[in-house]
Structure formats: structure tokens, C-alpha cells
């Protein structure tokens, strides 16, 4: 009987499988993949931003379809709006409204929120993503409002952005909706729509906000935030934009429009 190799000198089974797999690969696989990649057509160049006249027409159509748009987060005053927007980060407005419907019945002002406490607040918002961090921030910002601002939400960007959990987008939403300041909050929908049409082509929300506020005609600036969000949420969707029912489809320069330019009545935003 032939001698067998001692166990310690035998190659591990995983090594033998790996070697056989590598040895049995079809020759030329890497070259074939390289040819396929090389043959792929380059992505179309991003279109230039629409001109000022076209931009004015975009907002004119949005205004005609929905002259008085409003945000979809339920609130009764600047404080409940601030809380709702803070909770809405990485969450849908619908999920926030479901939570705040019960929360605001027991705590709709800074004093009541601080009295409620972080643990009990977390119980009301546990269906929202990152609820523990958000509960901590809401209690902290409520305490700051009590200690430094008499329990009142101030209409000042610098103060708002200094509050726990409040960034530029949240501050812009509160300033626009609660205090009527003509500012444009840039969330994922506004960012996508601006780069698709395109109105402002930029890589960061801050740059998009600056560009939109510079380019948007003054008469449309107060509601531009709402029109762009609603358009992105219900028509110019992330995965499959509904271009055939878009009321600005003939003005938009997005190169990957879906469907055809159909003569379908544009829906109300």
C-alpha cells in the first residue's frame, strides 16, 4: 500500500478547492470583460442648466397648478413645526405625522416636552428611524428654548442652527413655513429635481440651495421650496420619474426621460 502524506503536510481542503476553481476558469475571461467595458457607450454629458426665461416658465406652471402649496408635516405653531422637521430626518412625513398626532396631544410646547422626558418621548416616536437620538435632541433643544429664548422659537437662522439636531435644511423649513422667509430648503427631492431639470447643477445641498435662491425669481421664492419638493415626491421620482404626466416635460432637459411626450393633462401637484 502506498504511503499517505502525514496529516500536517497535506494542503488544507479550502486551498485545494480554491486552486481547482482558479485552474478551471475559462481562458480569456479578463480580456472578454475588458472588451465589454470598453464597448459600453459613455454616459451622456449632463445638460446645461435651463435659462432664466425657462426657469420662470417652470415656476409659472407650478404656480398655476398649485397657487398656495403647503408642507405635509402636521403642526400648529413654530415649535411643533420645529419638532416635526427635526423628527423627519431620514423618515417620511407620513411616519412623522402618525407619531406626532399622539405626541402633540401631551407635549406641544417646550415646557411640556421637557417634563415628558427623553424616555417617554422615545416611546411616542419609536416607529421613526433614529428615534433615540432624535428624542435626545428634541429634549435638549426644548430645554435650550426655555433657558435662552423664553420658550419661543426665534426667527433667526444662526440661533436655529445652533440648536441640537437642527441643521441648515431644518432651519430653512422653519424660517420659510413658520415665518414666511423666502428661503429654499434642499432635501433629497429638491436636490434631485434641481440637478435633473436642471436648474442648478451642484454636488452638495448647500450649493444647490445657494444656486436656487440666487436664480429663482423673487415672485416665486416663497413657495419654490414646496413646489420642488412636491414635484420630486410625486412626479419626478428617484427610480422611475413619471415624465409623461409631468407639467414641465417639454422644458426639462433630463436626458433619460421615461415614456413619450404624451399629451396627457398634467396633474395638480
- In angstroms, the CA 134 to CA 153 distance is 18
Cite the beta strand spans of the chain per DSSP E: none
Q: How far apart are CA 146 and CA 80, in angstroms?
A: 14
Burial of residue 181 (number of CB atoms within 10 Å: 0-12, 13-18, 19+): middle
Select which of 31, 93, 187, 237 is catalytic: 187
Is 187 one of the catalytic residues? yes
**Packing angle, helices 188-196 and 205-215, rounded to 10:** 60
Q: What is the CA 66 to chain-centroid distance, rounded?
A: 22
Beta strands in 120-246, from DSSP E residues, in sequence order:
none
Helix, strand, coil percent values for the chain (each to nearest 5)? 60, 0, 40
Terminal CA-to-CA distance of the chain, rounded, Å?
A: 85
Choice among 3, 35, 77, 169 that is catalytic: 169
**CA angle, 184 as apex, 180 and 185 as ends, to 5°?**
105
The yes-or-no answer on residue 169 being catalytic is yes
* Residue corresponding to grid cell 404656480: 63
Q: Three-class SS of residue 238? A: coil
So which residues are the catalytic ones?
169, 187
Amino acid at each position: 500500500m502506498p504511503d499517505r502524506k502525514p496529516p500536517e503536510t497535506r494542503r488544507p481542503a479550502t486551498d485545494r478547492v480554491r486552486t481547482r476553481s482558479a485552474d478551471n476558469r475559462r481562458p480569456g475571461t479578463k480580456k472578454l470583460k475588458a472588451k465589454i467595458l470598453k464597448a459600453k457607450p459613455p454616459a451622456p454629458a449632463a445638460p446645461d442648466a435651463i435659462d432664466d426665461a425657462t426657469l420662470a416658465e417652470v415656476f409659472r406652471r407650478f404656480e398655476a397648478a398649485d397657487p398656495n402649496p403647503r408642507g405635509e408635516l402636521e403642526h400648529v405653531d413654530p415649535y411643533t413645526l420645529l419638532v416635526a422637521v427635526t423628527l423627519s430626518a431620514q423618515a417620511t412625513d407620513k411616519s412623522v405625522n402618525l407619531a406626532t398626532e399622539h405626541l402633540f396631544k401631551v407635549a406641544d410646547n417646550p415646557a411640556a416636552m421637557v417634563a415628558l422626558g427623553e424616555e417617554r418621548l422615545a416611546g411616542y416616536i419609536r416607529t421613526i428611524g433614529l428615534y433615540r437620538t432624535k428624542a435626545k435632541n428634541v429634549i435638549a433643544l426644548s430645554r435650550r428654548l426655555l433657558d435662552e429664548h423664553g420658550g419661543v422659537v426665534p426667527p433667526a437662522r444662526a440661533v436655529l442652527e445652533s440648536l441640537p439636531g437642527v441643521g441648515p435644511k431644518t432651519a430653512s423649513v422653519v424660517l420659510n413655513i413658520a415665518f414666511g422667509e423666502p428661503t429654499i430648503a434642499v432635501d433629497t427631492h429638491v436636490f434631485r429635481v434641481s440637478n435633473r431639470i436642471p436648474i442648478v447643477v451642484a454636488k452638495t445641498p448647500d450649493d444647490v440651495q445657494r444656486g436656487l435662491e440666487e436664480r429663482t425669481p423673487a415672485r416665486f421664492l416663497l413657495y419654490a421650496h414646496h413646489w420642488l419638493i412636491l414635484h420630486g415626491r410625486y412626479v419626478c421620482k428617484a427610480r422611475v420619474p413619471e415624465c409623461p404626466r409631468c407639467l414641465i416635460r417639454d422644458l426639462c432637459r433630463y436626458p433619460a426621460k421615461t415614456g413619450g411626450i404624451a399629451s396627457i393633462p398634467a396633474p395638480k401637484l
